[in-house]
Amino acid sequence: MKPIAVVALGGNALLRRGDAPTFENQLANIKIAAVAIAEIAKEYRVAVVHGNGPQVGLLALQNLAYKEVAPYPLDVLGAESEGMIGYMLAQEIQNVMPDREVTTLLTRIEVDPNDKSMLDPTKFVGAVYNEEEAGVLAEANNWIMKRDGDFVRRVVPSPKPMNIIDKHAIDILLAAEEIVICCGGGGIPVCKTDHGYKGVEGVIDKDLSATLLAKQLNADKLLILTDADAVYLDWGTDDQRALRTATPAELSKYDFPAGSMGPKVEAVSDFASFGGKAYIGALEHGLEVLAERSGTCIAI
């Protein structure tokens, strides 16, 4: 049976920074992702995890427009985005590989409702704004805003994933060599109560969920595809330089932004320490990254 690769697609890779959040823009990037995933699926059993930061933020804005009804919570909006992006990915992957079965699975992931991120939000969602726009939105909607590169974006709680509740279904689909789109948007955050599971107001970081999935599947490779072509040191300065190979110990010496590259570095370091090989690279160069001709490779 083929080895397993978990491929994580960033929400910013599916809707580039500064792009208008239109269906057409997202579809164009998803078509690029579908080609990359199809190439990988020739050699691996593939589980695809995708981000949803721009998309869930757009849903939240649309949600606010209907003032007659209280806004839906973030876990429900996350499920909506998981279905939307999962449908688009499944359709485009199958258009590239009509002989392969592709399944999108809405995936619940258990989190701690008292996770420290509930008090210190760091997960970027939604569009990018200038300082003036961000200030108006923050005041009007009681949002927390933080700088994301040259822009400002909304941040929300991002509790760490603890357990993939629907993993058994993922196992069955991968055993049948289906391409599985799961843990979308990091998965739907839920917690245990005395009366079963209930949703948690937050958005799980998809890179941490992808790592948890890769570990629970005993995957061979973890590939994080984003809008950056590698892990960079001194990003945004005249001295910026790409790392092509690194160990978790080497990466631990540097500070990476908590809302962007930080979770990716944490995720790949965790998986590499677990014994696998992990990669970070650009969406359009997926197979090249996996072949270690592009991007950053992290291993012990």
State the burial class of residue 165 (Cβ atoms within 10 Å of its Cβ: 0-12, 13-18, 19+). Answer: middle
Catalytic residue among 86, 160, 202, 206: 206
Catalytic residue among 10, 78, 221, 264: 264
Q: What is the dihedral of CA 140, 142, 147, 153, to 10 degrees?
A: -70
pLDDT at 12 (0 to 100): 66
Contact predicate 165/110, CB 8 Å: yes
Sorted by where each starts, the structural domains of the chain and their CATH numbers stand as 4-112+160-298 (3.40.1160.10)
Catalytic residue among 29, 51, 123, 281: 123
- Pairwise CA distance, residues 62 & 65, whole Å: 5
pLDDT at 144 (0 to 100): 93
SS3 category, 178: coil
Q: What is the pLDDT along the chain (300 residues), one digit of tens a residue?
A: 999 999 999 766 787 777 788 899 999 989 989 999 999 999 999 999 998 888 888 888 888 888 788 889 899 999 999 999 999 999 999 999 999 999 999 999 999 999 999 999 988 888 789 999 999 989 988 899 998 878 899 899 999 999 999 999 999 999 999 999 999 999 999 999 999 999 999 999 899 999 999 999 999 999 999 878 899 988 778 888 989 999 999 999 988 877 678 888 999 999 999 999 999 998 888 888 988 999 999 999
State the burial class of residue 66 (Cβ atoms within 10 Å of its Cβ: 0-12, 13-18, 19+). Answer: exposed
**Annotated catalytic, 206?**
yes
**Annotated catalytic, 146?**
no
**Annotated catalytic, 95?**
no
**Annotated catalytic, 215?**
no
pLDDT at 259 (0 to 100): 60
Contact predicate 52/106, CB 8 Å: no
Read off the DSSP letter of residue 201: S
Is the entire prediction scored with pTM above 0.75? Answer: yes
**Annotated catalytic, 12?**
yes
pLDDT at 228 (0 to 100): 82
